[in-house]
Structures are given as structure tokens and as C-alpha cells.
């Protein structure tokens, strides 16, 4: 069974317990980790004693360990979960043989596959079996409804007023899934003793540094071709604790929105008005100038460049992350 987008996220929060396992795959390791945590917590009811974790390479060398973990009987009642981390396509063949005899009475298998292509044997195994689910998890900005659900789940009863929700929705569009979850928990803790809905001013005080003026200036400098400003602004953001990958997420989100507006039928003005979350005032004027200056073909090339840099930043191994970000953003600014 194949699920993606919001369907995949919903499955992580409320899995079909008649299935025997799920594959989590996508380019965002943080999103995969978040969904794996939700899925395992639901299956095991938060009991760590009902969880077995295996590493992908070790499981591939000893497939019998997977079979043993799935069929083991614990001391405590309730369904168990077996997680295989960092699984590769070489695990598809032994998994196929093992899962053939597994039923919903055994442990629920959760496989973290990372970024897998459409022809991946691991994906084909989980997509082609009705007893399994392949969850395609890709970065997607949460809407206001999803954010409200997250706040309620974190224990926030008072909620946000409309302006505060607009601030939160705009901020969430520039953050990865893990950072959004941390922000939701922070807001819920802040409002524990509150007797009214949070205001926009209180919300702005809680937003992470990635939403401050320096990041806005960096977006404007890159999109406006101000090459000399790029390096110093990145240095200032890094000194303030903003990670290079967070900068790339913000840049990527901004340029994807520009491309959406530039590529839409009916004119850029109408497309800009349809953006969610909405853009107002001087920020709207700046985006319109940038769309006209860049045009759709160059914006498409820019988004591809950002994607490649972001993929490099998220890959394993030691890298000069800040230098990669600075070089990419200078190249983007030179495109103007």
C-alpha cells in the first residue's frame, strides 16, 4: 500500500493495526524521525519495553535477527514494535522472505529507508503488499488546522488569536518538521497558566531566530543580487545559533514560493494573492519585484540549485556546511 503527503502523516499518528509493517522514506531525516516516533509510540502505547531497535547493516548481515525480533513474546501485554534504522535496498530480499509468514499478531515492523527512488526494491516490497504500507514523507508546510491540532495535543487549551495563528503559520513554512514540533511544545509550555488566547506580539516573541530581521535581509540580499551582503549576513545568523540547514530551508521555501507565483496562470498578482500563508505589505511588494526580476526559467534553475545544496547538507559525513551555504547563496545572488 502506498501513502504520501498528509495521508502518510495521518497513518503515523493513527496506524492501521491490521497491517504488519510500514516503510518510512523521504529526503528529510528529521521528518522521518518525527513520524517514526509517533508511529512507534502509538503501536507500543509509549512502552519502551515493547520496542526492539535494529541497525540496517547488522540486520542485513543477520536476517534471522529480524525474524526473531518480530516473533518474540514480551513479558508485558500489548503489541510490540521492531524498528530497522537506516535500511538499504539490499534488505528487500531477506525482508520479503521473513514478512511472508508474519501476521498482525506479531510485532509491527517499522523500516526507516531514507531517500529511495521510485524503482527501489524496498519501496516496491512495501507498496506492492496489502499487509504493508510505504509512507512517502516529504517536507510540507503545515496548515493552520494541523498546527491547532498539534497545539491541542501538546496540552494548549486557550489557543491563538487569528493574528497569532497567521504568524505561526508563516513561521512554520520556513522550518523543518522537527523545529515546528519544538516550537509547538514551547508555545504550549509558555501558555500553561494563560487565561486567554495568545496574541500576535506574544507569538513573535516565541518564534525562533530564523524569523528575525537578519534572515529577512538575507532573503532580500540573495533574491536582489546584493552579493556583498550575503557572507556577512550568514555569519551573523550562524553566530546567533541559526544552523546552515535552517538557512537553506528558509531560502528554499522563499524561492519555491517565487517560482509558484512566476509559473502560475492568470498573472503574478493573482497568484501572489492566492499564496498561503498570505503575504502583505512591504513583503508582498518585495516578492513581486523579485518575481519580475527573476522570471520562471531562472527561478526553476535556482530551486534546483537549492535542492542539490540542501541534499548535500542532509547527507551523512563531515562537511563545511556554512561554506556550502555561503557558496550556494552567492551563486544565486550572481544569477540576478
Interatomic CA distance for residues 71 and 64, integer angstroms:
11
CA angle, residues 24, 312, 287, in degrees to nearest 5: 95
State how far the alpha carbon of 70 is from the alpha carbons of 4, 73, 162, in Å. 26, 9, 47
Interatomic CA distance for residues 311 and 8, integer angstroms:
22
Computed over every residue of the chain, the mean pLDDT equals: 84
For 274-296, what is each residue's pLDDT tens digit? 766 666 666 777 888 888 888 88
Number of Cβ within a 10 Å radius of residue 50: 21
Query: Residues with Cβ < 8 Å from 262, sequence gap 6 or more?
Result: 268, 271, 291, 294, 295, 296, 299
Q: Which residue has the higher pLDDT, 210 or 297?
A: 297
pLDDT at 22: 95
Percent residues over pLDDT 90 in the chain:
24
pLDDT at 279: 64
**Which ranges of 100-199 would DSSP assign to H, the alpha helix?**
121-127, 144-153, 162-172, 177-190
- For 172, the 3-state DSSP assignment is helix
Split at pLDDT 50, 70, 90, the class of 333 is very high
311-336 average pLDDT score: 85
Query: Residues with Cβ < 8 Å from 289, sequence gap 6 or more?
Result: none
Largest CA distance in the chain: 66
Interatomic CA distance for residues 147 and 183, integer angstroms:
10
pLDDT at 210 over 70: no
For 69-118, what is each residue's pLDDT tens digit? 998 887 778 889 999 988 889 999 999 999 988 888 889 999 998 888 88
pLDDT at 330: 95
What pTM did the predictor assign? Answer: 0.52
For 215-258, what is each residue's pLDDT tens digit? 888 988 999 889 999 999 888 887 767 778 888 888 888 888 88
Query: Residues with Cβ < 8 Å from 128, sequence gap 6 or more?
Result: none
pLDDT at 315 over 80: no
- For 116, the 3-state DSSP assignment is coil
199-206 average pLDDT score: 81
Split at pLDDT 50, 70, 90, the class of 18 is very high
CA-based nearest residue to 107, from 86, 83, 128: 83
For 109-144, what is each residue's pLDDT tens digit? 999 988 888 889 999 999 999 999 999 987 767 778
Interatomic CA distance for residues 62 and 175, integer angstroms:
38
Backbone φ and ψ for 195, nearest 5 degrees, come out as -110, 5
170-198 average pLDDT score: 79
Amino acid at each position: 500500500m502506498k501513502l504520501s503527503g498528509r495521508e502518510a502523516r495521518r497513518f503515523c499518528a493513527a496506524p492501521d493495526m491490521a497491517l504488519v509493517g510500514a516503510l518510512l522514506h523521504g529526503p528529510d531525516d528529521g521528518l522521518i524521525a518525527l513520524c517514526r516516533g509517533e508511529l512507534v509510540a502509538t503501536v507500543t502505547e509509549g512502552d519502551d519495553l515493547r520496542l526492539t531497535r535494529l541497525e540496517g547493516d547488522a540486520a542485513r548481515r543477520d536476517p534471522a535477527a529480524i525474524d526473531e525480533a518480530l516473533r518474540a513474546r514480551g513479558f508485558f501485554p500489548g503489541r510490540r514494535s521492531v524498528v530497522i534504522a537506516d535500511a538499504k535496498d539490499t534488505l528487500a530480499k531477506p525482508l520479503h522472505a521473513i514478512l511472508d509468514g508474519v501476521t498482525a499478531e506479531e510485532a509491527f515492523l517499522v523500516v526507516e529507508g531514507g531517500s529511495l527512488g521510485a524503482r527501489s526494491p524496498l519501496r516496491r516490497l512495501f507498496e506492492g503488499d496489502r499487509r504493508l504500507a510505504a509512507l512517502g514523507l516529504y517536507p510540507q508546510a503545515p496548515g493552520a488546522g494541523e498546527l491547532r491540532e498539534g497545539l491541542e495535543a501538546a496540552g494548549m487549551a486557550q489557543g491563538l488569536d487569528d493574528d497569532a495563528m497567521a504568524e505561526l503559520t508563516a513561521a512554520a513554512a520556513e522550518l523543518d518538521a522537527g523545529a515546528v514540533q519544538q516550537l509547538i511544545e514551547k508555545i504550549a509550555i509558555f501558555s500553561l497558566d494563560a487565561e486567554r488566547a495568545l496574541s500576535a506580539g506574544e507569538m513573535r516573541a516565541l518564534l525562533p531566530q530564523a524569523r528575525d530581521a537578519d534572515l529577512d535581509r538575507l532573503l532580500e540580499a540573495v533574491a536582489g543580487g546584493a552579493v556583498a551582503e550575503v557572507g556577512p549576513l550568514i555569519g551573523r545568523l550562524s553566530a546567533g545559533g541559526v544552523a546552515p540547514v535552517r538557512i537553506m530551508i528558509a531560502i528554499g521555501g522563499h524561492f519555491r514560493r517565487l517560482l509558484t507565483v512566476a509559473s502560475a496562470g492568470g498573472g503574478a498578482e493573482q497568484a501572489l494573492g492566492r499564496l498561503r500563508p498570505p503575504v502583505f505589505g512591504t513583503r508582498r511588494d518585495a516578492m513581486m519585484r523579485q518575481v519580475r526580476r527573476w522570471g520562471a526559467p531562472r527561478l526553476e534553475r535556482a530551486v534546483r540549485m537549492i535542492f542539490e545544496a540542501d541534499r548535500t547538507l542532509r547527507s551523512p559525513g563531515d562537511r563545511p556546511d556554512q561554506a556550502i551555504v555561503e557558496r550556494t547563496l552567492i551563486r544565486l545572488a550572481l544569477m540576478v
